Structure 1
Amino acid sequence: MHYTETCEEQRPEIVVHVATTIAPVQDGQLTGQIHDDLAQTALTPAEHLVDAAYITPAHVQRAQQVHGITLLAPIVADPSRQAQSGEGFGKSAFTIDWDLQQATCPRGKTSTQPGTLRINGHEYLQFRFAKADCLACPDRHPCTASATRPRSIALLPQPLHEIQVRNRLDQQTEEWQRRYAVRAGIEATLSQTVRSNGLRRTRYRGLAKTHVQHVLTNLACNLTRTADWIAETPRGRIRSSRFHTLHRSGRMTPEDHQQSHGIASRPQLRPKTSAPSSRRTTSPVPSVRRPRPGCSRFSTPPESRASMSDGYSLRPLGEVMRLDLQQPFAWPGS
């Protein structure tokens, strides 16, 4: 399922488009369809923040030319060995003369007439350098891994190449990252529909019926969010994972750890007296505690544990009663 929601300030996040496909369909195949559907319902956005799987230079170009949409997502970095290792000359080190259809390497050598190449369904221009120039180059080893062949680079056509280069530079800036950080809210929508509305499983057979379920599920999500926005219900806090909580707890005092998790302070236990006890002196039965549904485990000492979880009020473990073989059992506080 692919869905699109609004992300305007001071307004609720509303799902405005839902697309249902079979599993083998790639995310990038839906980008154009989503924009066309939004345009038909007069919901075309000025800026569309998407996952990296939904964007290519061709998608950026089409969204801007056809619908006037600024498509924002990180474009995959240069996958060449030179760019990944930081050694040698990546594609960005070559100067391209689009009028003459030539590429100039950092050593000043020019390429021959480019040919066409098709990679993953996209048309590329392949700039190949002369074999004699590459064999005599002192930087041949960091430039190419081939022992006999000259260096060649494959680039997208000029409009798409310029979009690719510009986006790769922009996505390294703090301003771009701050704009793109808004997209993280869509993950909360996914979590809400899965955890609260059972979106993980379909109740029907067939793509058309499943799509209806997806639409109704997101409609219920919209109604809930709109009602919360009208009632000015405060949003829940961001929860930390158990691993993150455990990592933080290693650098915190027990008091700070209890406050960060909303753990109540442990009441003082009654001091032990030397007076003889009226209870039997036989070995006690192991202590019995209330069930703790959904309660996390903490690294604080057992005798100081007390928490609140899912609406259940839990006593400190030091106050849990032990069974008395001569008296009927009763839960603490009952």
Structure 2
Amino acid sequence: LNQVARRESDWLRSWVPTSWFDRYSKPFSEYHLPKKTSERQTQAEQIGQDSIILLEHIYSDMAPPTLRHLTSVTFLHRLCIYQFYMDEAGVHWRDPSETPASFRFASPHDLDMSYGRKRGSDWIGYKVQITETCDADAPNLITHVATTISSKNDAATLDAIQSDLAAQQRAPTQQFVDASYVSAPNMVRSQEQYGIDLIGPTRPAQGWQYKRNNTYPAAAFQVDFDRQVAICPQGQTSHLWMNSHHSNGQPRIFVRFAKETCAACPARAQCTKTKSRGRQVQFHIRAEYEALKRAREREENSDYERLYRRRAGIEGTISQLTNQMGMRRTRYRGMAKVHLQHLLTAAGLNLNRATDWLMGKKRAKTRVSAFAKLAYA
């Protein structure tokens, strides 16, 4: 209201309800806010109703167009969606759990920052993803820095990262990532679009059959994509093959075995608990299925641990960036400025590493405590 009053006082005065002067003329710190939950909710919903009225006027054809671009108006618009909803009875305070994490915000002073959670750690701010080289005969240099909102899924950022690397002719032949980036669609896209072999731990398959011995999980079935049939471990062939989708929207192949076939099978208890129909199984589409199969076979190879060990270097890089160079604390507000800070910090580390390499300084080895060394003595 204060920003609108400073910009368009005559327009605001022409329609503003007189009751608003009693409610909003003073800072909230000067009011006695209600202590009862019911009274606080009533007051919050009154504020929500007034906010929606203000936005309706601002976005009407009669309002000065410049008001719509004010930062405070953008914030208020987002706030109303986040905290309120409307029905026939009026405006209601929304439960925070009903709002998608990607739309939540943590501060009116920086609308780009958000709440983040990963592996039990919580923070408010941004997320940064670092890509670096890992050649044995050259210094490890950062080749890409991605700054995103905290709630954005890691796997969803991979395509943009690889696209940028390819555009700058820095795309690697192999890219070592942690499990959060690994998915069948990402492995296929990486190889087909950018010629990148995505290497990282695949996520364990789901289903009760994977948690018990002597059972028939989906991996135990043979899939013939040319004939469009699946063959179970007992040699029976599916009678239904259908293009479908997973709950996350990704395409899947859905197969079903005949009820009569499964009912007569001596291994039924090892395969399915359902008695009303035959076994149902979902598979990735062909390219994804084959990519995932190759990745899991590689993980079982004795050389995989040695190969994937090359990714460990990025943990040291992240430690340097956060502990020595202060990347974990943002000095600015807004995605653009925070990203610039991340770029400059990464450039500083590259400069240090390039200088050390040219001067013949050897890389520091992983520190091992005096007590831990006793185990190898």
Same structural fold, with TM-score higher than 0.5 when normalized by the shorter chain: yes
Q: Which of 206, 213, 217 is equivalent to 2:345?
A: 217
Match of 1:118 in 2: 246
Please say which of residues 84-93 and 206-215 is displaced more in the overlay.
84-93
Distance 2:167 2:193 in 1: 13
1:9-28 aligned within 5 A: 9-28=136-155
Question: CA deviation digits over 1:193-215, x for unaligned, max 9?
Answer: 11101111111111111001100
Using structure 1 for the length normalisation, give the TM-score: 0.70
Please say which of residues 98-107 and 194-203 is displaced more in the overlay.
98-107
Question: CA deviation digits over 1:147-199, x for unaligned, max 9?
Answer: 43421110011111111111111111122222211011000000001110111
Match of 2:166 in 1: 39
Task: Calculate the aligned-residue CA RMSD, in Å.
Answer: 1.9
- Whether 1:136 aligns to 2:259 is no
Aligned-pair CA distance for 1:37: 0.3
User: Measured at CA, do residues 86 and 247 of structure 1 come closer, stay the same or move farther in structure 2, by a change above 3 Å?
Assistant: farther
Aligned-pair CA distance for 1:100: 2.2
Match of 1:73 in 2: 200
Distance 1:67 1:14 in 2: 20
Distance 2:351 2:237 in 1: 62
Please say which of residues 224-233 and 80-89 is displaced more in the overlay.
80-89
Using structure 2 for the length normalisation, give the TM-score: 0.62
Higher helix proportion: 2
Question: CA deviation digits over 1:106-159, x for unaligned, max 9?
Answer: 222211222213232311111111112212222111211334342111001111
Does the Cα contact within 8 Å between 2:258 and 2:277 map onto a contact in 1?
no
Distance 1:12 1:23 in 2: 30
User: Measured at CA, do residues 121 and 12 of structure 1 come closer, stay the same or move farther in structure 2, by a change above 3 Å?
Assistant: same
Aligned-pair CA distance for 1:248: 6.5
Does the Cα contact within 8 Å between 1:48 and 1:71 map onto a contact in 2?
yes
1:232-311 aligned within 5 A: 232-240=360-368
Q: Which amino acid aligns with 1:170?
A: R
- Whether 1:159 aligns to 2:287 is yes
Does the Cα contact within 8 Å between 2:133 and 2:143 map onto a contact in 1?
yes
Distance 2:135 2:224 in 1: 42
Does the Cα contact within 8 Å between 2:132 and 2:140 map onto a contact in 1?
yes
Aligned-pair CA distance for 1:246: 5.3
| Unaligned segments of structure 1, at least 5 residues | 257-334
Aligned length: 249
Does the Cα contact within 8 Å between 2:182 and 2:203 map onto a contact in 1?
no
Does the Cα contact within 8 Å between 1:77 and 1:168 map onto a contact in 2?
no
Aligned-pair CA distance for 1:38: 0.7
**Structure 1 vs Structure 2: percent identity of aligned residues?**
36
Does the Cα contact within 8 Å between 1:78 and 1:84 map onto a contact in 2?
no
1:87-106 aligned within 5 A: 87-106=214-233
Higher strand proportion: 2
